[in-house]
Structure 1
């Protein structure tokens, strides 16, 4: 089970023109927005990465506008973990459970997940908040990560799992968010 005090959200490379090429991009963007807003309601730390922003562009406005206080970690490596800045930010959070979302499932999300698992993190892939340019590559990435030990979850499932209880102001806000 996810524990709010031990969980952080990692949003990987949802940038520019590449983001527009993703399989089922509309539902991807909606779920990413819900996940980010839910993390904020729950006061969960968020790490945002951008793969070579000079070439691929910045995080899409629909998401970056939701996280004005989050500074993206720029990288050129496919795995976020191969970037010293990302590793430093992650270590500083002192969280061992990570909700991972973003693009592309079979490249950056996959390689990051493999490195996180090797480093001893519990990785939960938000399967409706990741994508690739093709459904096949998304599915392949999900299968490989699951077989390596990552847990597959969904946006709504993860947010309610983090809540643990159906009462209070945060529950009301999350309930409204997922409707």
Structure 2
């Protein structure tokens, strides 16, 4: 089970034209925004990645506005774990569990999440907060995660797992995001 004391969020490459080309892009971007807002309400650290931003463009406005207090970590490898700044951010956060969202599910999300699991982190990919241009590639990634010790969760499931109690101070904020 996820707990807010030991969990962080990794936002992977929701940027440029690619973000609008993935399957069900509007829903994915909206759900990622809700996940980010929930993570902020719960006080989770957030690590924000951008793949080759000079070529692919910046993170979409609706997402970057939510993280205006942070700077994205540029990367050129598909696997974020191969970037020194990302490894530094992981060490600085000192969390064992990581929720992962972003695009594309079968490339950057898959490689980053799998590498994190290989490093013995507890990794949870949020299925309704990730996509690929072709829905079959997303399904392929989700099916491969199980054999790679990466857990699959959903937006509502992980946020309520983190809140745990309807008396928690963050509950109403989370409830309003999910409604």
TM-score between both structures, scaled by the size of structure 1: 0.98
Give the C-alpha shift of residue 32 in structure 1.
0.3
Report what 1:111 is aligned to. Answer: 111
Report what 1:39 is aligned to. Answer: 39
| 1:176 pairs with 2:141 | no
Q: Is the CA contact 2:98–2:123 (under 8 Å) kept in the aligned structure 1?
A: yes
Give the C-alpha shift of residue 168 in structure 1.
3.7
Residues in 2 aligned to 1:114 and 1:29: alpha-carbon distance in whole angstroms? 22
- Residue 170 of structure 2 aligns to a residue whose secondary structure is helix
Give the C-alpha shift of residue 102 in structure 1.
0.2
Deviations along 1:49-77, one digit per CA (max 9) or x if unpaired, are 00000000000001000111121000000
Give the C-alpha shift of residue 107 in structure 1.
0.3
Residue ranges of structure 1 left out of the alignment (5+ in a row): none
- Residue 10 of structure 2 aligns to a residue whose secondary structure is strand
Runs of 4+ residues over 6 Å off in structure 1: none
Give the C-alpha shift of residue 169 in structure 1.
3.1
Residues in 1 aligned to 2:29 and 2:69: alpha-carbon distance in whole angstroms? 19
Report what 1:77 is aligned to. Answer: 77
Give the C-alpha shift of residue 149 in structure 1.
1.0
Give the C-alpha shift of residue 148 in structure 1.
1.1
Report what 2:88 is aligned to. Answer: 88
Residues in 2 aligned to 1:24 and 1:146: alpha-carbon distance in whole angstroms? 23
Report what 2:66 is aligned to. Answer: 66
Residue ranges of structure 2 left out of the alignment (5+ in a row): none
- Equivalent residues, number: 179
TM-score between both structures, scaled by the size of structure 2: 0.98
Report what 1:126 is aligned to. Answer: 126
Report what 2:146 is aligned to. Answer: 146
Residues in 1 aligned to 2:117 and 2:169: alpha-carbon distance in whole angstroms? 34
Q: CA RMSD in A?
A: 0.7
